[in-house]
Amino acid sequence: MIEVVDESPEALYRILEQSGWGDGLPVVAPTEARVDAMLEIYGGSADDVLAVLPPRSGACTARVAAVNAVMAGCPPEVFPVVVAAVRALDRPEFNLRGVQATTHSVAVMVAVHGRVIETAGYNAGFGTFGPGHRANATTGRAIRLILLDVGGGRPGDGDASTQGQPAKYSYCMAENAAASPWPLYPTCRGVDAASAVTVAAVEGPHNVHDMWSTHPAPIYRKVASVMTTLGSNNAVMADSEFFVVLCPEHARQAASEGWSRRDVQLFLHHHARLSRRVRNEHFADMGIEPPWMRSTDDPDAQLPVTGEPDDIRVLVAGGPGKHSCVIPAWGSISRSVTVPV
C-alpha cells in the first residue's frame, strides 16, 4: 500500500508512472472516503474476491475494484455494473488469459442492459460507443484499469497486442431497449433480470451504412458483407461470435416486415458466406476449420462465416441515423458472458 499525501494530478501521475500502473491518463485520487462510497453501494465485504485475473493471477477484491473505479472517475451508481463485469471476466469460457496475452488487438467490450441504464445514467442513444457520458466512459475505463493493474495486462509484458486499439482505453455501450422492437438482449442468453451486463472479447465496431433501402434485405446483405472480411479473426476461426449492433431505424425496418431477432440471425447466417475456393486460397492447411466446414470440397460451395445463427449476437443501440455496426470477436476460444447486475 502506498500512502499518498499530495493528491494533485501531477503527484498521482508520478506515482502511477513510477509504479507501472494506470492507463496513461490522469486519475481521481482513491481516497478512503471515495472508496468507501463505492463499497457502500456494493453492500458486501470489501475483502470479497470477485475474480482472479490472468496473466498476473491478481486477486480482484471488492476494495481493489472500488479503488480502480474511483481512479477511473466512476460515480458510485455504476459500481454494481463494474462488479458484475469483473465477475463475468472470471468465467472459464471467456478465456481472459488468452484475451490479455494475444497479439490481436482485442479489447473487452462491456454492454449494459436494463434498468441500471436509467438509474446510473448510461447513454444508450446518440454516440453510445463514444465520449460524452460519464457512466459509459468510466465503466469501460474501470474495467481496463483492473485488467492492467490487477490482471497485469500491460503492453509488451502481459499484453502482446501488436498495435493495440483505442477501445483498450474504454469500451462500454448500452442497449437501447426503448427503441428496440425485440425483447431485451439478455433474455436471448437465458438471463431474466432487471439489469444485466455482457462482456465480450472483440475488435472495434465496423460501421454499416444504409440510409436509402426501403426493405430490410438490402440493409442486412450489407451487414453480411462486413461480416465476410478476410482480415478479421472470424474469417479463419469460423466458430466465433459476431456482435451486430443495429441502430433503431435498421431494426425497425426489419421488424416492420415481421422479422424477429431470430430472423435477423438466420438471414445473416445464410448470407454472410465465403466460397470454399476463397477459404482454400487464404486459409488452406491451417488445420483449425471445424468439421462441418470440411464437409465439402466443391470450390463453389458457399460456407457460412460462423457455425450457428446463435453465434450472431443481435441487439439495438444508438440514436437516429441509419448506421449500424458489426463487431467481430477475437476468436472461437473466447465466448461472451452475460450476467445479472
Render pLDDT for 85-122 as a digit per residue (tens, 0 to 9): 999 999 999 999 999 999 999 999 999 999 999 999 99
Residues 239, 281 within the same domain: yes
Residues 78, 198 within the same domain: no
Average pLDDT over residues 234-249: 93
Residues 135, 49 within the same domain: yes
Residues 162, 176 within the same domain: no
Nearest to 316 by CA among 128, 118, 136, 134: 128
Q: What is the pTM of this model?
A: 0.94
What's the CA angle centered on 124, arms 120 and 126, to 5 degrees?
Answer: 130
Residues 149, 183 within the same domain: no
Is 269 inside a domain boundary? yes
* For the chain, percent of residues with pLDDT exceeding 70: 98
Hey, which bits of the chain come out as E strands? 49-53, 58-61, 107-114, 172-174, 195-202, 206-209, 242-246, 273-275, 302-304, 312-316, 323-328, 337-340
> What's the number of domains the chain is made of?
2
144: left (phi over 0), alpha (psi -120 to 50) or beta: alpha
Residues 163, 182 within the same domain: no
Residues 322, 254 within the same domain: yes
Nearest to 205 by CA among 326, 334, 123, 330: 326
Distance CA 289, CA 85 (A): 31
pLDDT mean across residues, the chain: 94
Domain holding 156, by residue range, is: 1-103+130-170
Contact 95, 334 (CB under 8 A): yes
Q: Which residue shows C-alpha cell 459476431?
A: 242
Is 140 inside a domain boundary? yes
